[in-house]
Structure 1
Amino acid sequence: MRRLLCIGLFLLLASALGRAGYPLPSQRPRPSQPAFPLLETTIAAIHQAFRQGDCSCEQLVTAYLRRIQAYDQPTKLNALVLTNPQALEVARQLDTEYRKTKKLRPLHCIPLIVKDNYNTAGLQTTAGSLALKGFVPSEDATVVKRLKAAGALVLAKSNMAEWAFSPMVSISSIAGETLNPYNLLHVPAGSSGGTAAAVAANLGTVGLGTDTGNSIRGPSSHTALVGFRPTLGLVSRAGIAPLYLRNDTGGPMTRTVADATRLLEVIAGYDPADPLTKYSQGKTLPAGYQQFLRKDGLKGARIGVLRTLSERQPDPQVKALFEQALADLRQAGAEIIDPVQIPDFEQVSKDQWCAVFQHDINAYLGSLGPTAPVKNLQEIIASGKFAPYIAENLSYHQQQAEVPTATACTDAYTDPKRVAFRRAVTEVMDRYKVGALVYPTWNNPPAKVGDPKGYQGDNSQLIAPHTGQPAFTVPMGYTYDNLPAGLQFLGRSFDEATLIQYTFAYEQATKRRKSPPLFPEMPRVKRK
């Protein structure tokens, strides 16, 4: 199937893309050729098609643009803020490069969905706020720069919770509300819900999110994706609009563990523009992370069950999926240690949050230069350009004068409370000799749109954002009305290799992910 040709998509696109203002491919298609199957495709499959001559970068990008036009707004999914008007031109350049060099870069022509709080050179970046509408950065965020250097193509910017304030919904004054592609009556969570919905609906190959407390793993769980929250300091935050820098990290949101691993391999590492990344020096792997994509990676593994989180009033169907996941881990060769308890969890985990948004956002806005429409939080509030649901957040943070000091409200490596919390978790893992702790990413299904009381069971905010440890979510099945649920693996700091090994083996043993039925493969061109 992966070898099917994608040239046939062009005829259906010509009139639609022309009306939408997208640049059209210069190459004329042959209508007798079948379409490349975009549904659930992977980086490896795309590169195989390029090598075999079955598809070009231009054809691939055109096919994704066609899906975006057919599905994003017509279904009211509302995952994307804008598409890149230069996407096809960049695709042609990548095709020319490949014809000349006969070599594919690691992410050559991989269409990327980028959350709208990542600076993207030449492409509007707003963090979901009307206060930044029209702002076009002159430089990419470090992560985007590294992905482009590896050959990735920024296809679109995705909707998000405004200024990343909501873990439950992805609503912005720029683009409205994003819905869950598995059931449009439900939310995709926040704040990276736009990336999640777009990647899950196959509107792009891979995506980028950011995670302060939940915002990569929560939306990934709600949309049957793989979401990596890496160790704090492994991935640069330079050029990303912050929420709380002491918690913030970027990371991959993809349909497979292999694709997330390929992205992580490119974006991990030291960046002088982000001082926190000094902690990653000497801890990244020169040979990369793909070596840990092992189907037998759970054989002999010891995995602890964190019932402290999994038993927080779980929904019966999510609980049933979690128990099945534990059985699947055993079947794949893992030894399950059940339960594992962190002593004095309530005490060691409390008082970990600090209201540093004003400090961090002012520093970010001040770095954008004279073309930024607003320069600080006060100007954001004075502009009146924000969604009503975040008004209280903005007012609260305006009143906070809290600034990080040498020991308080700082990062996971210098704040004594955070160091103590991480030590408590790590000591328990060492005592039980486990490589990871597992629990449901959410104990409850996705909430219904417009139902704030449905926001229940978020387990992602309780450990990793404060300890700085890596935490990955992978699909573990579906509950009511086709709603996804995720299994979360928490690891030791800078031990992404073990989590990749475990999550890949679990994914391959279970293959829980399925494409949302509301967003099927596009019709193929019929022979004239």
Structure 2
Amino acid sequence: MLRSIRFCLLASFWLFLLLQLRAAQFDLSTATISDLNAAFDSGALTSEKLVQLSLARIDAYDKKGPALNTIITLKDRAAALAEARALDAERKAKGPRSPLHGIVVLAKDVYDTADMPTSGGFKPMATSQPSRDSFVIARLRASGAIVLAKLNQSDWYGVASSGGSTLGGQVLTPYNLKKFPGGSSSGTGSAIAAWFGTVGLGSDTTGSIVIPTALNNLVGFSTTHGLVSRTGMMWSSPSQENGGPMARSVYDCAAVLDSIAGYDPADLATQASVGKLPEAPYTSFVKKDGLKGARIGVLREMIRSGPLHTDGIALGEKAIEDMKKAGAVIVDPVLTGLVLHQTQVDASAYPYEVASAIDKYLSALPPSAPIRSVKEMIEKAPDLVKPAIVASAKLGAPDRNPQFAAALKHQKVLRDALIGVMDKYELDALVLPFRTYRIEDLAGMPKTNRQESRNQLASVTGLPAIIVPGGFFDDGMPFAMEFLGRPFSEPKLITVASGYEAVSAHRKSPATTPALTGEKITY
């Protein structure tokens, strides 16, 4: 009898250990969209519960605690939970629409949403309610995503400080509450870093996706010009404007891209994407050994020198060495023969397009919109409007503007030079540290240093770039690496970026927004 009891106890012990070994672990701070779907499929998680977890984090850390101040408009709680319950029921009855089914998305407040205002952070536009969703938001909703909030940002039209707005105030980064969070998609960067949602949407005119991605330890994609529609999105430069995903993993950015990429007859730039989308999903190009055999060229002409950059250069060299150890063929250096820092500045068409681009967006708003033209904007809020917009309005139509024509020419020269070196050395991608100096405090940050964070190669060339975490400076602020590719080479960039992500594992949650109860599940 005693023997039998001992045997049963021993068997129970080993069964317990086996079950523990087989148990899946879910951690909201690190969970990818794939992890969320596994938890959904097991019944351990529902979309309703995921929305509740996001709402709890926003309540704890956005206006309280570190007060990151990332949210401009939060979807009505009851409506959000009802939407999640409906998606849960649909999943149970029919299966998921896509990997984004029931996933929480946070959108920069430049994307039109039929259920929430779109202000761009500009106080006079606080009540501007679009009549329909933007192309990208509509695509995400059709995929089953829940758009939970509209995010604060560098003011789209106004004079607020970089990383903040006249409507929402200053956004803070959870990695160091005194430092510049990056703009203009500052709210997206900080909110996703603090995992207020699963993925976020940013937009980019002169580095506005890549900068806050780099400064918030995220992965972000500024895609090929023409891959993602701008219809129903506030913009400032038709030749440079891009929308794209920002997330905590390469996989999640790829999953969003699967939903939003493609042709839109209302945005003729997307004609360039026809025939260029991969047959397989973008997520299929995520590979842990993605660096093996990849030919990567180091774009040293964009890497600054001097005492200010010593620590950042060391982090960059470590990253390049890690790529080499992972099997990448490093071509170092590759040289375009251009002064890249100056050429990218000369190639910016934003100053000449901004007024006409804003007029295009405002004129499409419903008659009830508080402002429907740049002229009206300047008349109603003369002290709040960005000087660059006022200056652009004075220039008139850019049709015969020689400076505008020169900027477009510089864009082509720069794009051709970068593609040329990739072709010459048969490269899969170019790589460079995104920035090599410490970001200074928000208070009194010198304009010269702020300008040094302005890596706008992707913006002014229309070439795709992906940012991946690359470590940290000793002040706690993140360091990042940028991979730049040929037009429509997103699949290859996803492969090499996910390969680097796998071998480096530099993603780390910020200490100012710790995990809350219920965010870790064993099932």
TM-score by length of 2: 0.88
In structure 1, what is the Cα distance between the partners aligned to 2:444 and 2:139?
A: 39
Contact 1:195 1:208 in 2 (8 A): yes
Residue type of the partner of 1:396? A
- Aligned pair 1:288/2:270, yes or no? no
Q: Secondary structure at the match of 1:481?
A: coil
- Aligned pair 1:69/2:75, yes or no? no
Shift of 1:410: 7.8
In structure 2, what is the Cα distance between the partners aligned to 1:324 and 1:457?
A: 21
- Taking a change above 3 Å as real, the CA distance of residues 157 and 439 of structure 1, as seen in their structure-2 partners, is same
What does residue 111 of structure 1 align with? Answer: 104
Residue type of the partner of 1:238? T
In structure 1, what is the Cα distance between the partners aligned to 2:348 and 2:472?
A: 32
Q: Secondary structure at the match of 1:488?
A: strand
| Length, aligned pairs only | 486
Residue type of the partner of 1:374? I
- Aligned pair 1:45/2:35, yes or no? yes
What does residue 14 of structure 1 align with? Answer: none
Contact 1:164 1:191 in 2 (8 A): no
Contact 2:295 2:427 in 1 (8 A): yes
Larger radius of gyration: 2
What does residue 493 of structure 1 align with? Answer: 487
- Aligned pair 1:204/2:194, yes or no? no
In structure 2, what is the Cα distance between the partners aligned to 1:167 and 1:316?
A: 32
Contact 1:228 1:472 in 2 (8 A): yes
Show CA shifts across 1:266-290 (max 9, x none): 1111100101001111101132212
Unmatched 5+ stretches in structure 1: 1-34
Residue type of the partner of 1:208? L
What does residue 159 of structure 1 align with? Answer: 152
Q: Percent identity?
A: 38
In structure 2, what is the Cα distance between the partners aligned to 1:241 and 1:456?
A: 23
In structure 2, what is the Cα distance between the partners aligned to 1:180 and 1:517?
A: 11
Show CA shifts across 1:138-197 (max 9, x none): 211101111111111001111011117799822111110001110101121100000000
Contact 1:165 1:393 in 2 (8 A): no
Residue type of the partner of 2:376? E
In structure 1, what is the Cα distance between the partners aligned to 2:29 and 2:420?
A: 43
Q: How does 1:41-440 map to 2 (within 5 A)?
A: 41-74=31-64, 75-85=66-76, 86-163=79-156, 169-313=162-306, 315-345=309-339, 349=344, 351-354=346-349, 355-384=352-381, 387=384, 391-404=386-399, 409=404, 415-440=408-433
- Taking a change above 3 Å as real, the CA distance of residues 61 and 348 of structure 1, as seen in their structure-2 partners, is closer
Unmatched 5+ stretches in structure 2: 1-24
- Taking a change above 3 Å as real, the CA distance of residues 368 and 247 of structure 1, as seen in their structure-2 partners, is same
- Taking a change above 3 Å as real, the CA distance of residues 270 and 166 of structure 1, as seen in their structure-2 partners, is farther
Residue type of the partner of 1:300? G
Shift of 1:316: 1.9
Shift of 1:418: 2.6
- Taking a change above 3 Å as real, the CA distance of residues 340 and 500 of structure 1, as seen in their structure-2 partners, is same
Residue type of the partner of 1:234? L
- Of residues 445-454 and 291-300 in structure 1, the stretch that sits farther from structure 2 once superposed is 445-454
RMSD over aligned CA atoms reads 2.3
Shift of 1:421: 2.3
Residue type of the partner of 2:94? T
In structure 2, what is the Cα distance between the partners aligned to 1:382 and 1:325?
A: 51
Contact 1:182 1:517 in 2 (8 A): yes
In terms of fraction of residues, the more helix-rich structure is 2
Contact 2:464 2:490 in 1 (8 A): yes
In structure 2, what is the Cα distance between the partners aligned to 1:350 and 1:130?
A: 29
Shift of 1:416: 4.2
Contact 2:223 2:465 in 1 (8 A): yes
In structure 2, what is the Cα distance between the partners aligned to 1:301 and 1:166?
A: 44
Shift of 1:47: 1.0
Contact 1:114 1:209 in 2 (8 A): yes
Residue type of the partner of 1:398? A
- Of residues 36-45 and 198-207 in structure 1, the stretch that sits farther from structure 2 once superposed is 36-45
Contact 2:221 2:253 in 1 (8 A): yes
In structure 1, what is the Cα distance between the partners aligned to 2:507 and 2:70?
A: 20
In structure 1, what is the Cα distance between the partners aligned to 2:487 and 2:305?
A: 25
- Aligned pair 1:505/2:493, yes or no? no
Q: Secondary structure at the match of 1:477?
A: strand
Shift of 1:450: 2.1
In structure 1, what is the Cα distance between the partners aligned to 2:83 and 2:258?
A: 23
